[in-house]
Amino acid sequence: MRKFVCIILVLSLSGAAFAQKADFRKGNRQFRKADYSEADISYRKGLLKDTASVAGHYNLANNLYRQENFEEAAKQLEAVQLTAGDAPFAADYYFNAGDVAGAKQDWQTAVNMFKESLRRNPGDLAAKENYIYARNKLQEQQQQQQNQDNQDQNQDQNQDNQDNQDQQQQNQDQNQDQNQDQQQQDDQQQEGQQPQPQEVQLSPQQAQQLLQAIQDKEKQTQEKVDEKKAQALKSRQKEKNW
């Protein structure tokens, strides 16, 4: 894509007010020789004596532009913007202001400045070309910004969705833990509520029957023991007799 048509002009006015300022005239000569460092000193000396000089700020801005000090150049032009619009060289002023804004990639300001230059000099083809170029760059910049905003918005939405999923998972985990705790509590309660063996209360008749059964069992057992002893005795006696 082609660059600006860059036309930086210095003012060499024949008016008495400017002609009497030797520092400004000296700065113009140095500018034409491309001695920009010395021209910078001369213009600033002149502005110390006449701080409101539109031509002085204008020419210093152009000199700073040549040194690629675009920020300071813009400040010098802004210092006289209110009065420069009524000056005879207003079209050149706005043209150069558009060049400075374009060098800073401030395309909105560049469009505005070239538009103002064309209003004062509609036949300036360079201003028209630069206006179209700056307008196209502004549209590209706005589209890029819109794309970036959309991307940022999508990222924010994705992050919100992820946060919601994380929160849902956290809630599920918390509910699961609570259910496990409740199950453990229920199990413990069930264990604590298991029926205990109850003591059987017998009637006197049942107690007598139970006692009689025990005694009968003991009697039978004793009779068996006595019978075994008797048999053992007989066996010993046979052996002794034999």
Regarding pTM above 0.85, the answer is: no
Segment 23-40 shows an average pLDDT of 94
Torsion of CA 174, 176, 181, 183, to 10 degrees: 160
Each residue of 37-51: pLDDT tens digit? Answer: 999 999 999 999 999
Least confident among 103-117, 154-168, 224-238 = 224-238
Domains of the chain: 16-142 (1.25.40.10)
Q: Using alpha carbons, select from 38, 76, 74 the residue that is nearest to residue 57.
A: 76
Which CB contacts under 8 angstroms, 24+ apart, belong to 153-160? none
**Cα separation of 57 and 88, whole Å?**
15
Predicted confidence (pLDDT) per residue in 119-175, tens digit: 999 999 999 999 999 999 999 999 999 999 999 988 888 888 888 888 888 888 888
Strand ranges, E, within the chain? none
- Chain segment 192-229, per-residue pLDDT in tens: 665 566 666 778 888 888 888 888 888 888 888 777 77
Report the pLDDT value the prediction gives residue 242, as an integer from 0 to 100. Answer: 38
